[in-house]
Amino acid sequence: MLVFFPLALAAVAAAQTLSPSVQHAKRTHLPAGWSRVRRHASDAVLPLRFGLTQPNTDMNTLEALLNDVSHPESPNYGMHWTPARVAEHFAPSDEAIHAVTSWIADNGLAKERVRVSKTKGWVMLNASVAETEALLNTEYHVFVHESSGKEHVACDEYNLPAHIIPHVAVVTPSIDFNAILTKRSSGTTSTHITIGQPGAGTVSPKLTTTISTILTELEDCDKQITPACLRALYGFVYTPLAAKKNSYGIVEYTPQAYRPADLDMFAKNFSSIGPSLVGSRPVLKSIDGGVVQNETASFGVNGESNLDLQYAMNLVTGYQNITLYQTGDLEMGASFNNLLDALDGSYCTFEGGDDPENDGIYPDTLPGGYQGDDCGTIKPANVISTSYGYDEASLSFAYSSRQCAEYAKLGLMGVTVLYSSGDNGVAGNDGCLTPDGSESEDGKIFNPSFPSTCPFVTSVGATQVNPGAQVTDPESACDQVIFSGGGFSNYFAIPDYQKGAVAAYLSANPPPYAATIYNSTGGSRAYPDISANGANYVVAVDNAFGLVYGTSASSPVVGAILTMVNDQRIFWGKKPIGFINPTIYSPAFKGAFNDITNGTNPGCGTVGFSAAKGYDPVTGLGTPNFPKLLALWLLLP
């Protein structure tokens, strides 16, 4: 639909401003629980922000840049970029800043009212609703949340002149409506997704039962998974040689916190290679006021952190430190963007570069909130594992794309970014999709997980030792308590590295679902990439051992294995493995994974996809075979 500017404005504008107004973004539906109450007052002021397009961030360019340093056949393999080179390569152009600021001025808004952020990423302006509506050719409405009474201001769609479109990635506030209301301990509500809180967009591990006896024999790995079981399953026995030069980061979102007493309880019952881990703690890197809180204790707030750290610390041995990226203060909380701001100064602006609907906004103005804004404060670890995730549909395409590009930048810097693939099979945390794109418990359309669908992260699914089976038997896709998240993106196109693998899967195992149920074209990003056991983990939580399930467990285990691969490479003077996807899908690495060929990932009233020979969107390429992976990665430059 083309809409033209009102004549009065066009008459005073320079010729370029006459370019037709084109729809930039449109929301397909109103999220559940919200209703439209009125037009917003025309004299109300909106903190209008234009996020400028970063050059070179289209998916094809990013993929080409990443392949240059990550593809095993590239002459530049391992020649990762410095943060400064990344910042410079992706800084918005002066042309973009000029185009957007002149367009605003041409519309009669004084130049003095417009500010450009330090990093040149954002053009900002406080504008009245009337001014904004004229500028964006739209209408702003007030919406109310039925149960909480919380109000939210948004438009349904907005337009930009054609010549501005290439320069603007996102406009806020506009259509975004992913406000998930979260109850806080203080009783107040917040609109951004509090990724650290169970039930609010997280992939929470599941606890079934507490156990009184740990089974220590390998023949019991079908009943209880212990570090010894994982070492047996993946041939993972290794003593680090270059611990001081190596790093492995585990990400947790406050109020999630490990309990020191639980780490010790685990360390006492599961001895590690090398020095004892009793009394050992992860090295805390606090981001945006992140604290290992001890005000409340429950499986809900300790389960994820305890699981991730107990296994990661044991598996990388007592020689190798783990870094804990504890993100977000106790008041505001935080999201993936807040972590990314701290890891890469070029990603944030002095106002955070963040979206108030989805991210923590720092400095935090809530009572007791963190007064800083951590931006480029952390040198990223070589491997970073995160066991949290969103439903792709809960975030706008623009928001997800911007974040996805940032994962590519971390890859350019040589960082391996792992995310768990979700615990609901082909369904999401909030059910499945309906034809209008909303999420519902009654939905029938598969609901993929983000950031797993971003082609620039490595997504990790879950397997299990089948009941009654031995640790030497092939594992299956996990179907105890949780199902391995997997499927096809509705946002991101298929990256080159997995085209062959996905085409082979779809032709040998055509899924029995209509094209309306999932993106069946073979042209969209499939996930997960790899998998590891996710069932029956023995974890110490709040002074008791329990059995825990989830891709939440799989991701830190894969991270530990890759960290030990890095150790040996660093010992031999090589670079860390960085973004691994082009490597693990390459012909040379065929056979370096234990192919999982049994099981499915049910959801949305279906059995989901089937695991099969070769790649499948349930368990990816399979589980790691550590000796083979190590040998192959040592052959690379």
Ligand X SMILES: *[C@@H]1O[C@H](CO)[C@@H](O)[C@H](O)[C@H]1NC(C)=O
Contact status, residue 221 vs residue 214, Cβ threshold 8 Å: no
User: Which distant-in-sequence residues (6+ apart) come within 8 Å of 172 by Cβ?
Assistant: 47, 48, 49, 51, 355, 356, 357
Nearer to ligand X among residue 52 and residue 193 (C-beta)? 52
Nearer to ligand X among residue 255 and residue 599 (C-beta)? 599
> Does 201 show up as a binding residue in the annotation?
no
- Interaction between residue 294 and ligand X (CB under 6 A): yes
R_g over Cα of the chain: 24
Nearest distance from C-beta of residue 26 to ligand X, angstroms: 16
Backbone angles phi, psi at 17, to 5 degrees: -65, -10
> Does 616 show up as a binding residue in the annotation?
yes
Nearer to ligand X among residue 143 and residue 483 (C-beta)? 483
* Identity of residue 211: I
Give the pair of three-digit tokens for residue 606: 């279906």
Nearer to ligand X among residue 58 and residue 73 (C-beta)? 58
* Cα–Cα distance measured from residue 114 to residue 126, given in angstroms and rounded to the nearest whole number: 8
Nearest distance from C-beta of residue 636 to ligand X, angstroms: 25
Pick the binder of ligand X from 186, 521, 543, 572 (CB under 6 A): 521
Binding mask 25-64 vs ligand X (x if CB under 6 A, - otherwise)? ----------------------x-----------------
- Interaction between residue 296 and ligand X (CB under 6 A): no
Pick the binder of ligand X from 244, 279, 365, 437 (CB under 6 A): 244
Residues 65-94 that bind ligand X (CB under 6 A): none
Catalytic residue selected from 63, 304, 430, 479: 304
Pick the binder of ligand X from 176, 355, 479, 529 (CB under 6 A): 479
**Residue 67: closest CA among 581, 415, 637, 491:** 581
- Interaction between residue 631 and ligand X (CB under 6 A): no
Nearer to ligand X among residue 476 and residue 552 (C-beta)? 476
* Cα–Cα distance measured from residue 265 to residue 267, given in angstroms and rounded to the nearest whole number: 6
- Interaction between residue 519 and ligand X (CB under 6 A): yes
* Cα–Cα distance measured from residue 619 to residue 617, given in angstroms and rounded to the nearest whole number: 6
Binding mask 590-619 vs ligand X (x if CB under 6 A, - otherwise)? --------xx--------------------
Nearest distance from C-beta of residue 249 to ligand X, angstroms: 13
**Residue 374: closest CA among 387, 365, 361, 386:** 361
- Interaction between residue 523 and ligand X (CB under 6 A): yes
Select the span of 82-90, 190-198, 389-397, 516-524 touching ligand X (CB under 6 A).
516-524
Pick the binder of ligand X from 3, 14, 283, 508 (CB under 6 A): 283
* Cα–Cα distance measured from residue 245 to residue 73, given in angstroms and rounded to the nearest whole number: 26
Give the DSSP H/E element, type plus range, for residue 350: none
Binding mask 343-362 vs ligand X (x if CB under 6 A, - otherwise)? --------------------
Does 552 participate in catalysis according to the annotation?
yes
* Cα–Cα distance measured from residue 326 to residue 349, given in angstroms and rounded to the nearest whole number: 21
Give the DSSP H/E element, type plus range, for residue 549: strand 544-549
Nearer to ligand X among residue 214 and residue 588 (C-beta)? 214
Binding mask 524-543 vs ligand X (x if CB under 6 A, - otherwise)? x-------------------
* Identity of residue 34: W
Residues 118-147 that bind ligand X (CB under 6 A): 124-126
* Cα–Cα distance measured from residue 560 to residue 317, given in angstroms and rounded to the nearest whole number: 9
CA distance readout (Å), 529 to 182, 458, 462, 496: 32, 6, 11, 13
Contact status, residue 511 vs residue 547, Cβ threshold 8 Å: no
Give the pair of three-digit tokens for residue 510: 């055509």
Binding mask 300-339 vs ligand X (x if CB under 6 A, - otherwise)? ---------------------x------------------
- Interaction between residue 115 and ligand X (CB under 6 A): yes
Contacts 24+ apart (CB under 8 A), 300-303: 300/198, 300/204, 301/198, 301/255, 301/256, 301/257, 302/256, 302/257, 302/258, 302/259, 302/262, 302/541, 302/542, 303/204, 303/205, 303/207, 303/539, 303/541, 303/548
Nearest distance from C-beta of residue 8 to ligand X, angstroms: 26
Nearer to ligand X among residue 397 and residue 586 (C-beta)? 397
> Does 595 show up as a binding residue in the annotation?
yes
Helix (H, G, I), strand (E, B) or coil at 135: helix
Cis bond upstream, residue 587 (ω within 30): no
- The gap from C-alpha 434 to its chain's centroid, in whole angstroms, comes to 23
Number of residues interacting with ligand X: please give it, by CB under 6 A.
25
Does 473 participate in catalysis according to the annotation?
no
Nearer to ligand X among residue 21 and residue 314 (C-beta)? 314
Q: Which residues pair with 151 in a beta bridge?
A: 144
* Tokens 């590009």 belong to residue: 405
Catalytic residue selected from 131, 156, 262, 308: 308
Q: Which residues pair with 449 in a beta bridge?
A: 391
Select the span of 168-176, 397-405, 501-509, 515-523 touching ligand X (CB under 6 A).
515-523
Binding-site residue ranges for Ca(2+): 595-596, 614, 616
Which residues are designated catalytic? 304, 308, 552
Binding positions are: 595-596, 614, 616
Per CB under 6 A, residues contacting ligand X are 47, 115, 124-126, 213-214, 243-244, 269, 283, 291, 294, 321, 466, 476, 479, 493, 519, 521, 523-524, 545, 598-599
